[in-house]
Amino acid sequence: MLLPVLFFTSCSKKTAPGKWQVTWEDNFNGDKFDQAKWSKIPRGKSDWNKYMSDYDSCYDLRSGKLILRGIKNTRVPTDTATYLTGGVYGKDKTAFGFGRLEISAKLNGAKGAWPAFWMLPQNGYWPEDGEIDIMERLSHDAFVYQTVHSYYTHTLKIKDPRTSGTIAINPNEFNTYAVERYRDSLVFYVNGLRNFAYPRIKTDKDGQFPFDQHEFYLLIDMQLGGSWVGAVDPMDIPVEMEIDWVKFSVKK
């Protein structure tokens, strides 16, 4: 059974008064992740999902935290992939509308590691209906990328207004990553510090701001290798990220 879609509409602008109220959360306090909220991400042919696996060693619940790992494939002889990675998403189970989505996580570094938190439209198409990258980290970087993608930015290759920003993190600690989604903008934060905003603008070009058209689901994945992050150093593997909690809030 699908969970009710968490989509909230508002006539308020991003500067509207009011406090954030948590309406959905997962603190990963059980002995396995909640399958009513999450599914394991299946393997695909893109850089980001080419090593995705449902192998149990890529997943764990430890001390109230979801653990997603990237490992060498030495135990699954029927799988020809060099590495195996774990990832979960809320596709067809949990979708979010306007509000604030936050993830608290610790990202353990490795050369070629590419952990990410990002969002895709529940009933849309890529890139026309948008992609929201809340966090991407490469290897041992002490900063992360936060980015938006759409037909306007990807196909037409227009980067005005600004589509991406980097911001420092505490590499050996838990950090909190957030995006606020409004009818007229996306606003990105790390540890409560505003990184950048992507606004709706007046333009005669197609697809500049598709982020008010659909509910979006969250993907959390431990990726390895690819044309952006580069080659994996097998001496740095296994690598894992720890997710403490995920929360969604709306303005009250």
Domain boundaries, the chain: 26-251
Phi-psi region of 225 (alpha: psi -120 to 50; beta: other; left: phi over 0): left
Res. 208: pLDDT tops 60: yes
- Residue-wise pLDDT tens digits, 39-49: 999 999 999 99
Confidence of residue 133 (pLDDT cuts 50, 70, 90): very high
Q: Give the lowest-confidence range in 4-18, 104-118, 140-154, 230-244.
A: 4-18
Q: Which CATH number fits domain 26-251: 3.40.30.10, 3.10.450.100, 2.60.120.200, 3.40.50.850?
A: 2.60.120.200
In whole numbers, what is the pLDDT of the chain averaged over residues? 93
Residue with tokens 């509409």: 9
Mean pLDDT of 188-197: 98
* Per-residue pLDDT at 17: 61
